[in-house]
Structure 1
Amino acid sequence: MNCNKIEPQSYNTDDTTQASTTSSRILCRYFRKRNLTWFIFWIIIIILILLVVIIPTVIILKKKIIISKAISTTITTTITTIKKDTVATTTTTTGHISTKWIQDGIRVAGGNGQGDQLNQLHWPGMIYFDDDNQILYVVDEGNHRIVEWKSNVTTGQVVAGGNGSRTDQLSKPTSMIVDINNDSFIICDSGNQRVVQWFRRNERNQQIIISNIHCYGLAMDNNGDLYVSDVEKHVVSRWKQGDKNGIIVAGGNNQSNKLNELDHPTSIFVDQDYSVYVCDMWNHRVVKWLKNAKVGIVVAGGDSGGGFATSVRKLNNPIAMIVDRFDNVYVADSGNNRIMRWLKLTGSIEGRIIVGGNGVGNGPNQLNWPSGLLFDRKGNLYVSDRDANRVQKFDVDLN
């Protein structure tokens, strides 16, 4: 029986022949409909299979593109400088997330043994770089002074300090901020338990901003509010101009490793959203406190699992850190003699060594208790190498 051929109607056949022809037509129509149904069914199945395979693939590709764009985006960090009523920020390019640095550092300050001569340093701490004038400022804690080092020179120049408790003297300073508008420094005068403003053109007109505080780190937000870490009370406080008492913005709930507490906070950083990053030194972590938060978020270190403190998931007595505008954290992992980078993309699971980590020592690729770090506009890394009594510069690796 050929279902594709329609039998011509005959008026000369008998009733049996007509019935047979009618049955054939019905069967042909039935099989045609059935074949069409199966054809449609299999088309739908194929489409569903393609959708199941293609949609997840497209989603994965989109995620890869987003991550790729994020990785290829230029990192910028901001070095905060105080102006009269507001804070100016100097944009510093540190390159891509995949940026590497030449592992052999170049000495740019000190490195001539521990001492108080102008070509020497004694426990250098926090550092600041003036890109416009190519001047490096070093907090020379053991010599109770701030030293200015210009590019390509072998000796520095004292711009603030002198051991003592007078307002024109310093005792074990730990950090500083540059006040461009007033041509002065804001200095944490730790040994005298105070924060002072040191005018560079008038050394006899220094001012005490905050008294009776065991300060260590300093930072400033866009409103000109000053943030100070107190290693005795284990808190970070915010001070507005003219305040007699600061407002606690991190810690303040005793000394422990709980997320609402700190243990010997050192370096601090304030971002554009007024979140406060704290180097929680004795808890071996960096903690981020959102504005008005009651607890912090661990963004680097703090891994309480097994393994040695040298693991890339751990920090060992971190003293200093900086944060770029993508919330990636760079840490002076002092006890491990290395500089670590913790990417926001990977959370706080593990960091990556960018310089150091080659054992304690004074070699060009070694560090000895790093205690300060910064980037210049070209992305070159400067590290204050405390126990080596020097500051090292690690150039961006362009190869």
Structure 2
Amino acid sequence: MCPCGFLLPIHKGETLPSSLTVRRCDLQRFLKVIRGAGLLSRKGIPAWVSLDASSGVLRLRAANTQVEVQLQLEAADSAFEAIVDAEFLKICSGKEASSVTLSLADDEVTASWFDADVPRAARFVLRSSDSVPPAVAAPEILATNEPHLLEALREAQATTDPGASRFALACVQLRSAEGRIAATDSRQLLVQRGYQFPWAGDRLMQITPVFGAQEIDRSQDVQIGEAGNWIAVQAGPWRIAHAVEVEGRFPNVDLVIPSPSSLVSSMSVETGDARFVLERLDKLPCSDTLHEPVTVELNGSVAIRSRQEESAAAVELVLSRTQRNGNECRLQMDRRYLGRALKLGLREVGFTAGGGPCVARDAQRDYVWMGLGQENTISAADVGDRLLSEESVGG
């Protein structure tokens, strides 16, 4: 039977027997989160959602071999259990707080609701519980963290490389000893510290972009724990579990983080200057769309330069309130990594000799990327247009 649904005769006030009621807006929240987790469709395998209600609690669940998402909601004190294709969510969800009534009959689920004043209904074929992976067990031991753990995991995922083969760069490394989250795609590295994990040693957690979903509760503390080969994060009514990578290897990232003594120069970027740069950095001319280079010079002042082509005059951003520390230097780097460092709120940026690794850091974080060397840098003599942060509106 086609799961796409067709109209059935429904009348206001009618309740189908053995039914479950759930708000359409809750279904939409769940839909958005599982979309962020990549659970709607994968390699031609139909996505699914389970609804399991008992003792006044409804659990919505979707999963594959890498990630599981659960949302816990209040429900009437009745038993209901069904597994249907995720097309159910696309059809029945909505922004409204109005409800969808679900009824079990034989091998199908009937859903009925009102879209404004228009009665709607659809039928969905039940799937066997054998056709979906079993639910991840709840961790026995949980560690409590501040809500910022969700943002840390989101930023870590943004630093991974799902296509890597030599190392497990699609994973993030969770180290209990330092409360450390490390992620790299071999071009950039982000290390974040100060979190609590209730296990000994390191874990490589496969990760999806799900932690960027705005629907996940960020108003209260977050708990994290281990259950078999899964790591689960509990945030309010949400529980999100990712599989542990047990065979992959993660590079020794400590070897590539520049030590303070290896820095030949650094800059302390003033907050207004950081905003000034971020508003203009991706608008600067660019001659190389692969590396998107800019020249950074720390001399009498701190300046960022780029141009469309070698013969063209350059555009320069002068960071009037930013302080240089150490030696004068001039190097090239990918503007995207400099921009990300500033977006992360990192204001201390250091440079190694020869235009090598660059590092932006604070007390809890190190963000590292490779410089592009010191050849073909743009000098002050090549500048045609100069923009000063102290003269900019709002900068």
Which TM bucket (shorter chain)? under 0.3
> Under a length normalisation based on structure 1, what TM-score does the superposition of the two structures give?
0.19
Q: Higher Cα Rg: structure 1 or 2? A: 1
